[in-house]
Each structure stands twice: as structure tokens, then as C-alpha cells.
Amino acid sequence: MNLEGMFFPESVAVIGASNREGKVGNAIMKSLKRKYSGRIYPINVKEDNVLGIDAFSSIINIEDEIDLAIIALPAKIVPKIVEECGEAGVGNLIIVSAGFSEAGRGDLEEKIKETVEDYDMNLIGPNCLGIYNPYNELDTIFNPPKRQDRPEPGSVAFLSQSGAFGAATLDWFSEADIGLSKFVSYGNRVDIDEADLIDHLSNDEKTEFIIYYIEGVKDGRRFFEAARRSTKPILAVKSGRTEEGSSAATSHTASLAGKDKVYEGAFKQSNVIRAYDLREMFNIAKAFSFQPLPHGDNVAIVTNGGGAGVMATDDLVDKGLNLARFTKKTKEDFDHAVEEGIIPEHATLDNPVDIIGDAPSDRYQKSIDIVLKDDNVDVVIVVLLFQSPAIEEDIIEKLDGLQGEKPIIAVAPGGRYTHKLTEKIEEKGIPVYQTPAEAVEAVWGLTRCCPKT
Amino acid sequence: MNLEGMFFPESVAVIGASNREGKVGNAIMKSLKRKYSGRIYPINVKEDNVLGIDAFSSIINIEDEIDLAIIALPAKIVPKIVEECGEAGVGNLIIVSAGFSEAGRGDLEEKIKETVEDYDMNLIGPNCLGIYNPYNELDTIFNPPKRQDRPEPGSVAFLSQSGAFGAATLDWFSEADIGLSKFVSYGNRVDIDEADLIDHLSNDEKTEFIIYYIEGVKDGRRFFEAARRSTKPILAVKSGRTEEGSSAATSHTASLAGKDKVYEGAFKQSNVIRAYDLREMFNIAKAFSFQPLPHGDNVAIVTNGGGAGVMATDDLVDKGLNLARFTKKTKEDFDHAVEEGIIPEHATLDNPVDIIGDAPSDRYQKSIDIVLKDDNVDVVIVVLLFQSPAIEEDIIEKLDGLQGEKPIIAVAPGGRYTHKLTEKIEEKGIPVYQTPAEAVEAVWGLTRCCPKT
């Protein structure tokens, strides 16, 4: 399946384009016009012009070759429109409209499916938001940017069965500066399904990590085979885990959520990382987007607060990660730093390293440098309790200077001052979490993303 | 044990008060001077005046009666100072200094303990931050307010064995407008321990909820007996859960973290709510601080995004809460709202209620009102996906108008626009969470806080 024309169309028709505020076809036109530089063709049976662009009464009347048609019209006339797209030689379709199998009209979907196959078209939807591709600004999302930001280009592909939840996640990613390679909200996936998207993204040079929100997959076997084939790590949030949730999913996207145990087993077998909560998904995506992958799961902790070190240690063990055992060399380096007076004698220099409440940024720098050089350490978690008056703000530059091949993950619980500094550290590409458990979650996710051996 | 003079002293001596920036005795003087209106006596052997207040060379020389003495001097001279406090008739002590049992000097603690008992004094510490009481602004915390905010007066007492973690939490609570009744960082608890504090706070009229961060309790039996006696709900975060964490705790606060299974069982038996993560603790504290307690655990969900409804349903079931079964009356009310055109026909009007992506605030108002009136509903979770252009900003006032005896908990995942609206909703006293799982966590915590029957 070649989806080049779907993600990088040179021409796009919007069927149902409208001048009327509040109409989906109006909002999509605005999203497209904002930055997308390809040719845009509004289709409207009554209007000659939509938002300053000449409009056509039917796709049949356009002489140009149309790579992608976006359909935003009432469900009942969509089968006819799809037929017209086929006749017009359109290669790719996105049907945004709802009112199909999720509303008891599976018959309409069947007709569309047949037509799409007859004309050998690719279809995303119906009942979806479509695509956002930050690399060419193809944007079929009808939510206004004022309410929903679009992420910058990056390496994370996000695929969502649910449109509304997909939009919320994009908005969250944007605020956190998590870079996106592609977003696809695929709704009822009558044609292109989960497996097709994995196959495509696995070969997409912009994508390094695939995140999936699913309620139920169309074809479990195909999905898990594609997941196993994928050269990119996949993280999935699967809802409808419980009987009650599964029943709610059925009325949402007409999904059969299926037995959760079956999914659980299949995720494991196909190396899909499973997140149970959105924040977990978000935490892992942020770490992946900001930091290199570790070469193993041995973690060093450096903290100015003993309590946070204890908590992080518990969380590491819970997640099956290892508290790194320092080499003799590291112990010697620490002893040396104590002799030099950079680290005080009563610091705890075993892992978790507690450089105590009065640690200035020099002490942090020295300790982190020592543990990063330890061959037994793959990742460093740095706890920064900024409430202590001792840490100077130059810790930001010092942390930045320590970045290299091993990932550094920071934890900084707190309020306003902490958030100000957090933002500056994240600008340097080091992700900062509010709690030890979340930082550990992120580290766990990173270790799971390592290439399969 | 009468702790009135500890929390509401009319006179405070700071032993080790200093004019030198960076000294703990300087920072504590500044914290006290900021707002506390009682009489302050700096003690310094060399200076006549500390930060504009006449200083004394020893507590013995003060003629006034001293309710509370705060000691910030090197560990080795503290036993002698405690003796002097006893002679001077001081009723209450806070020893901030570190360097005692956690640093292998249990012998110093033993001496202090004897003296405190001989003179019948109350002691908090050593190795702690002491007290923050928002009701009289007694503030012994040496972190500057610029780096660590102090919460407003409220109903949540927060007790922490770890000073640094306690400070970070206070800072976080401040930003989230979680009101505080008392904060105590009690460190090595040579005299006043966990059980004493529970007994005191259980009878404290300002306190309605007690939160504990503990690594290990001094006397398990006393602690759990006090917890069982407590008339206020208690939430505990216990770290040192794992062998590795427990070992780290020992070098932190000289705590024997103990077998986690024993704690787990004792928490259950004494009705202590256990949180495993700081964010969980925070989420529950916020809900408690903002909303009334529910009368049961039947939850209704109202959402404009099906996916979020499915997720919330899964999370409810995971936590052992109930998806409320609506009464016949509620179904009739919904049917009526459909007839009136307020709710569209294709909305899902069973629980979780999906009022779909194009829901304006009127539709929210009507739906929430209907479920709140249902006798089978104890709590309502409202999911607000603000990315949708349909919800108007008057939802803030509408949600506020719906507040009554049943708690309302909101969920709004997203970025900048969402956070702007979140802030406004929280100003009305409705807590807003970023993910369905966190809102459910908060609801679970609230149901666990209900008076024991």
C-alpha cells in the first residue's frame, strides 16, 4: 500500500468546503489554508468561492489531478461522493463525517468499502479527524489552533482511533515540545487500518517511535504481525480493558474491544510496550523525544533529598529496572571528590547518591559526571529539589554540558519557581518530571524502546 | 501531650540566629519575621542584634517566658543547649540541625531524649524543617519563599519524615491552592512521633485530612493504634517499600523501613489510605481540599469524547468503584432533553454519558444536572475536551452553578488553551485533572475518606 499521496499530496480537494463559520468543512479549509503549500480545491454545490479560493460544484469538474480528497458531508450521501472520487481518479480519501457503523449504519460503510476497492483508492476513516503531517503542514483537523496546538516536526508518530482524544494528545504534546512525525486519526478504519499504518510508518524515515491509542483492532492477527515486523518501537494505550469499558467502546467506535488477556499476551509477544494511563504514555513519549536510548537498564540516581532517592529506588525495583552497582573506579572518583572538598564526607556515595540538601550545582556536576562515566551505568536520574537555597541556577548549563550518549532524566517536584527552572532545563533537551515514579516510568519506557536483539 | 505551645507559641527563641546570609539560623529568622506576630528572641553568642531584633547570648538570659525554642546549631553542642532550654523553662523545642542518628551519632539523641523527659518538654526533630502553621504564620522552614511557596490556610495537615520532600510538597500544594492546616517535618522523631501527631491533629479543629510521608515509623503499634483512633481520614505515602528502597531509607533517616507486607496489612486494618505515588497523593489531596465527600462510590461520567469515557470506565472498574446505574427517572429526563433538542438523538445516554464532540456548554449543563439528581449517583466525573470548538467558555460558570452536595471532578487533557480554562474552573473550586485515570484516583481517594461506619 503506497501512502505517499495520502501524507504528501500535491493537491487536495475538500468536499463539503464551506464559508459558514461552525461548519466542519469551513474549519478544515482554514486548517489547510494556514500553512499547507499544495494546491487546494474547495467543493461546494452552491458557492463559487470558499474562503477566497475558487470552488467547484463537483470533484468531477476539476481538471487537475487530485492526490487527496477530504470528505465532510452527511453520511448518507458519502457513498455517492466516494463513487465520484473514484471516477475522477482520486488516489486517496479521508472521510471525516460520522454517522456510520458507530451509529448503526454499517451498510453505508460496506458500499464505500466496495467502491474504494473497485477504484483501488486508499481511505482513512470515516468518523475521524484525518491527518496532521508537520513536515508539509498537511492539516485536516477541524479544531482551531487557538484551542488545539499542532506539534513541531519530530520523530514520534501518533495514531489514534479516537479523534477527540487524539486532538487532546496533540495539544498536550505541543505544549511539552514533543516533536511529531505524523498524526493519524483513523476512526472506523474501513480501509486503511492499524496494520497498514504500522507498515507504512515502519518504513517512514521521519518516524522513530510509534504511539497508538486503540479501543479494539480490526484484525488482531494482522495488527500483531505488523507490530512484530516493525523496525520502530511501538507503544500502545489500549482501552476497553474491562467489561464495562469494552461495552462503552462498542458504542464509541463500534469496536469489539476483546478480551484484555488476549491483548496483553499479544502485546508482549510482539514487543509492543503497553501503557495503562495517558500520563505514562506522555512521560515515555517525552523521554523518547528528548533523549538518546540507553544501552541497558542499570540506573544511577543522584539526589539532594534522601526521601526522593528512596522513592525512586522503590519505583525502579517495582518496574524491574536495576539500581546500578558502581565500579571500584567510581568509588575512587567519589573518594577523590570528597578529598577535594567538592562532596562532603556525610554524603551517601553509594547508589542512590545523596549529595544532601545543601548541594550547590558544582556538587551535582561532579557527581553526575562520575556516575555517567561508570560502565555499569546506562541512565542517570537526577533529582533536583529546587526548594533548597543551595542550588544555583547555573545548574541548567551544567546539566546541559553533561549530556552525551547516556540519557539523563530529571525529577523536580514543586511549584512556581521549580516550574520556571523546569522549563529552562527542558529547553536544553532534558525532560523533567514532577515525581520520582514518573521519571522511572519514562526510563522504563526508554529501556523498552531499545532495538530488539 | 499538649502541643498548643508548639503550634501556637506566643514567644519563640531562635538559638543559632545569625546575620550571615546562607546560614540556617539566618534563613529561619527571616521566615519567622515575615509574618509571625508573636515575640521573637534571637540567640547568638557574639551578636547584640540579629536582623534588627535585640539578641541574647543565651536562652537563660531572657526574662520573658519562652513557649518555643528553635535550635539551629551544630549537633555536638545541641545536648548542652537543650539542657539550658530546660533550665529556662522552655516548653517546646524544634531541633533543625542534622548530624544525629542518621549520621551515626545516636548517642547525642539519647542525651537529648533524657533531658527532654527530665524537664517535661516537647521536642520535634532533630534533622527536620519543623513547623509551618498557616493560621498564625509560625514558619520555621529555612527555604526562602521565592523558592518554596507556603500554602494558604485550609484543612489538610501534611506530616513528613523527610524535610526536603516535605518542602517540595508544600510548594506543589501552594501552586495548586490546596489549603493547609499544619505542616510538620519531624525528622528523627526522638520525642514527638507519628502517633503523637495523629492524636493531636485528630483533635485539631482546623484539620480535616491528614497526609503522611513516612519511610518507617518509630513504633508501629502506637502508630496504627493512633490511626485507628483518629476521627480524621489519613492518607500515607510509605517509601522504602522494596529491599533496595528500605536500605536507602536507612541511610536517609535512620529508619527501619520494615517489611512492606506488614505495613500494607496494618494500613488496611487501621483504615489508612495508601498512595503509592506522589501524584496520587497530590490528586487526592486536591479533590479533598476542593470538594465535599461523596456518600457512596457510584460514579457517573459525562464526556464529549467517547475515548475518554471508555478510559475513565476502565479506571473506575480497576479501582473497585461502580459505574452508576441510572434510575428510570434519569432515563426519562434524558429522553425529555432529547425531545427538547438540548441533547441530540445519537448521544449515548447510558453511563458513561457521551454527549459527543459538538457538545456546547448548555448540553453539558443539562446532562450533568440530570445525573446529579439521580439517587444512584454519588459523584460526577466531567470530561472536557476543550480542543472541540463547540464548548463555550461559559462552561466555567455553568459548572460552578451545578456545585452542591455531590462532588464534581473534571478531566481536561490538553495544552495551553486547556490549562487557561482549567485554572478558571479550579478557581471555582472544581478540581481538574489531566487524565481520566487521575480523576478516578481522586474519586477513589474521596470515597475512602468517607466517615467510617
Helix (H, G, I), strand (E, B) or coil at A231: coil
Bridge partner residues of B138 (DSSP): B133
Query: What's phi and psi for B138, nearest 5 deg?
Result: -65, 120
Asked if residue B107 belongs to a domain, the reply is yes
- Domain containing B103 — which CATH number? 3.40.50.720
One domain, residues A161 and A80: no
Mean pLDDT over A125-133 rounds to 96
| Backbone torsions φ then ψ of A354, nearest 5 degrees | -105, 105
For residue B230, what pLDDT is reported? 95
Residue-wise pLDDT for A306-350, tens only, equals 899 999 999 999 999 999 999 999 999 999 999 999 999 989 999
Residue A282 belongs to a domain: yes
Query: String of b and e for A294-330 (b: at least 16 CB within 10 Å)?
Result: beebbbbbbbbbbbbbbbbbbbbbebebbbbebeeeb
Q: How many domains does chain B contain in total? A: 3
Measure CB to CB from residue A248 to each of B318, B352, B417 and give the nearest one.
B352
Paired residues of B15 in beta bridges: B43, B71
Which of A175, A248, A419 is nearest residue B415 as measured by Cβ atoms? A175
Residue B440 within any structural domain of the chain: yes
Same domain, B47 and B111: yes
* Residue range A332-343, pLDDT digits in tens: 999 999 999 999
pLDDT at A259: 82
Minimal CA separation from B245 to chain A, in Å: 5
Question: Which of A36-50, A239-253, A439-453 is least confident?
Answer: A239-253
Domain boundary, last residue among B63, B97, B127: B127
- The CA-CA-CA angle for residues B22, B24, B29, to 5°, reads 100
- Cα B319 to the chain's mean position, in Å? 22
Residue-wise pLDDT for A168-193, tens only, equals: 999 999 999 999 999 999 999 999 99
The β-bridge partners of B122 are B92
Q: What is the mean pLDDT of residues A79-92?
A: 98
- Does one domain contain both B153 and B281? yes
Cα angle vertex A316, ends B448, A367, to 5°? Answer: 125
Q: Report pLDDT for A453.
A: 45
* DSSP three-state, residue A245: helix
User: Which tens digit of pLDDT belongs to each residue from A389-401?
Assistant: 899 999 999 999 9
Polymer length of chain A: 453
Q: Give the β-pairing of B322-323 and B379-383.
A: unpaired
CA distance B396 to B45: 58
Same domain, B307 and B247: no
pLDDT in tens, B52-99: 999 999 999 999 999 999 999 999 999 999 999 999 999 999 999 999
Q: Which residues pair with A433 in a beta bridge?
A: A411
**Interface check A101 vs B, CB under 8 A:** no
Q: Are A63 and A109 in contact (CB under 8 A)?
A: no
Kind of pairing between the strands at B92-95 and A39-43: unpaired
Q: Give me B56's grid cell.
A: 541574647
Identify the band that residue A102 occupies on the pLDDT scale cut at 50, 70 and 90. confident
Of B278, B306, B323, the CB nearest to A413: B278
Claim to verify: residue A310 and residue A364 sit in the same structural domain: yes
Given strand A234-238, what is the order of strands in its sheet?
A138-139, A130-133, A180-185, A153-160, A209-214, A234-238, A273-275
In the chain, the amino acid numbered A115 is: T
The helix/strand/coil state of A211 is strand
The domain of B344 spans 292-449
Q: Does A305 touch chain B (CB under 8 A)?
A: yes
Residues B327, B238, single domain; the answer is: no
Provide the grid cell at A312.
525512586
Beta bridge partners of B408: B380
The larger pLDDT score, comparing residue A215 to residue B370, is at: B370
Q: Say if A139 falls within a structural domain.
A: no
| A412 CA: distance to closest CA in chain B (Å) | 8
Query: Which of A290, A313, A328 finishes a domain?
Result: A290
Interface test with B, best of A214, A215, A253, A311 (most B CBs within 10 A): A311
pTM value is 0.95
Q: Does B442 lie in the same domain as B312?
A: yes
DSSP string, B378-393: SEEEEE--TTSTT--T
Cis peptide bond upstream of A9, omega within 30: no
- What's the pLDDT score for residue B102? 84
**Same domain for B280 and B301:** no
The per-residue pLDDT for A257 is: 59
Cα–Cα distance, A100 to A107 (Å, whole number) = 8
Which is it for the CA torsion B386, B390, B393, B398, positive or negative? Answer: negative
Q: Which residues contact B347 (CB under 8 A, 6 or more apart)?
A: B338, B353, B354, B355, B356
Residue A132 lies in a domain: no
* Residues forming beta bridges with residue A39, ordered by sequence position: A11
Contact A244 B308 (CB under 8 A): no
Q: Which of B317, B323, B417 sits opposite A147 (nearest CB)?
A: B417
- Going B354 to B360 to B365 to B370, the CA torsion angle's sign is negative
Q: For residue B416, what is its C-alpha cell?
A: 495551553
Q: Any idea what the CATH number is for the domain that residue B323 is in?
A: 3.40.50.261
**What is the distance between the alpha carbons of residues A437 and B278, in angstroms, rounded to a whole number?**
8
Structural domain contains residue B132: no
CA distance, residue A88 to nearest chain B CA (Å): 32
Name the strands in the sheet holding B180-185, side by side, starting at the edge strand that comes first in the sequence: B138-139, B130-133, B180-185, B153-160, B209-214, B234-238, B273-275
- Contact present, A78 and A70 (Cβ < 8 Å): no
What is the H or E stretch that residue B237 is in? strand B234-238
Q: Which of A122, A125, A111 is nearest to A83 (CA)?
A: A111
pLDDT at A376 over 50: yes
Note which residues in 53-92 of chain B have CB less than 8 A from chain A.
Answer: none
Torsion of Cα atoms, A196 then A199 then A205 then A210, to 10° = 80
Of the candidates A265, A31, A268, the residue with the CA atom closest to the CA atom of residue A138: A31
Q: Do A149 and B415 count as a contact with CB atoms less than 8 A apart? A: yes
pLDDT beyond 60 at A372: yes
> In this predicted structure, which of A194-198, A360-364, A423-427, B254-258 has the lowest mean pLDDT?
B254-258
Looking at the structure, tell me whether residues B296 and B249 fall in a common domain: no
CA distance A434 to chain B (A): 8
C-alpha cell recorded at residue B356: 459527543
C-beta atoms of B215 and A346 within 8 A: no
Q: What is the pLDDT of residue B255?
A: 61
Confidence bin at A388 (pLDDT 50/70/90): very high
Task: Mark whether B301 and B229 lie in a shared domain.
Answer: no
Residue A136 falls within a domain, yes or no?
A: no
Phi-psi region of B271 (alpha: psi -120 to 50; beta: other; left: phi over 0): left
The dihedral sign for the CA sequence B407, B412, B417, B423: positive
Cβ contact, residue pair A417, B148, below 8 Å = yes
Q: By the 8 A CB rule, do A90 and A66 touch? A: yes
Instruction: Give the pLDDT of residue B129.
Output: 96
Final residue of a domain: which of B290, B325, B351? Answer: B290
In a domain, B221, yes or no: yes
Q: Tell me, yes or no, whether B221 and B355 share the same domain.
A: no
pLDDT of residue B312: 97
Assess whether A358 and A225 both reside in one domain: no
- The stretch A44-63 carries a mean pLDDT of 97
* Mean of the per-residue pLDDT values of chain A: 95
Low-confidence spans in chain B with pLDDT less than 50: 453
